[in-house]
Amino acid sequence: MKYTSIPKTDIRVSKICLGTMTWGNQNTQQEGFEQMDYALEQGVNFFDTAELYPVPANAETYAETERIIGKWFTQNNKRDKVVLATKIAGPGAYTAHIRTSGFTPASIREAIEGSLTRLKTDYIDLYQLHWPERTTNFFGKRDYAPDNEEQWEDNFQGILETLDGFIKEGKIRHIGLSNETPWGAMKCLALAAYKNLPRMKTIQNPYSLLNRTFEGGNAEVSHREELGLLAYSPMAFGVLSGKYRNGNLPKNSRLELFPRMARYNSQESLAATEAYAKIAEKNNLSLAQLSLAFVTDRPFVTSNIIGATTMTQLQENIASASVTLTTEILSEIDGVHKSIPNPAP
């Protein structure tokens, strides 16, 4: 396993991070336990979750993933072996069953205390804002358009001040963003520097062969400000595993179970996937190995968040950490990207 540090900290994390959002829905508690056991054995010491999980989110399964992780910690007493990240859910109709009050001090306290209780831990290593409160472009929205009806008022400083209190209490160690734009990231970083408040250390955004929009602005922020990318959906909801090629829709796959999660399944995405598959085959790699190795080795990526519903998938995904792509392969990848750029925003 390869390791790096969360920027501007002494916390060493594996370049592969174990994603958990299927536990409690597509995966049982026992399967979650098996995944955590195996990942830790293979050197993966970084686990990412959220109060929202599992997905798709609903009131019946709310926070079940955190509960599964907490039971695993209680059973094996390995909390000190894991760098643990979780998130407070952003506002909106999708999360109305959680709360409707946004990132107020009371909401943040409720979320942190709830996560600590469910995770059976006294502290969270990395606490993230799952998505912005304001109207902006994330979750597949390609372009920004002003919302003349928007009610949001700038509260970045208040959020940082609230999170600072929890850092001082010892309940969270570091903080991060998720699904954030370059403007939002720089706003947080500038305020932290100017007001002597905690600095965002990471940004968890989508990044894959089918979605390299992070490179359009956030990559420069990441590079110049040392804001590490925790890349999510590196397999594009499983599309880059190749299992949906030739019109296949495997039983119990994510797109079969949840058709509305078709963000990565456009005709352009499928065409790009075929082109990447040919590169992989030509170089004796699986499409999954090619896709994950590409993400893991980008200079702005702190850790690559992989998720799996089967142990076979998990084994292949973790093993991808040992794959290094040649300059020739990277050139071929860029050729496809230039012809079909970012088909899945």
**What does the alpha-carbon distance between residue 263 and residue 236 come to, in Å, rounded to a whole number?**
8
Residue 86 has, within 13 A of its CA and on its CB side, a CA count of 32
- Radius of gyration of the chain measured on its C-alpha atoms: 19
**Pair 344, 236: CB distance under 8 Å:** yes
Give the three-class secondary structure for 290.
helix
**What does the alpha-carbon distance between residue 63 and residue 99 come to, in Å, rounded to a whole number?**
13
Give the three-class secondary structure for 305.
strand
Within 8 A by CB and 6+ apart from 66, the residues are: 49, 50, 51, 53, 86, 115, 118, 119
Beta-carbon count within 10 A of 116 CB: 19
Token pair 């968890």 in the structure block, residue: 204
**What does the alpha-carbon distance between residue 334 and residue 272 come to, in Å, rounded to a whole number?**
11
Dihedral (CA of 258, 66, 19, 299) sign:
positive
Within 8 A by CB and 6+ apart from 88, the residues are: 51, 103, 107, 108, 111, 112, 127, 128, 129, 130
Structure tokens at 36: 């955590």
Which of 53, 127, 207, 276 is labelled catalytic? 53
Give Cα separations from 241 to 23, 112, 163, 232, 306 (angstroms): 20, 35, 38, 15, 12
Annotated active-site residue 94? The verdict is no
Cα 264–Cα 245–Cα 44 angle in degrees, nearest 5: 65
Catalytic residue positions? 53
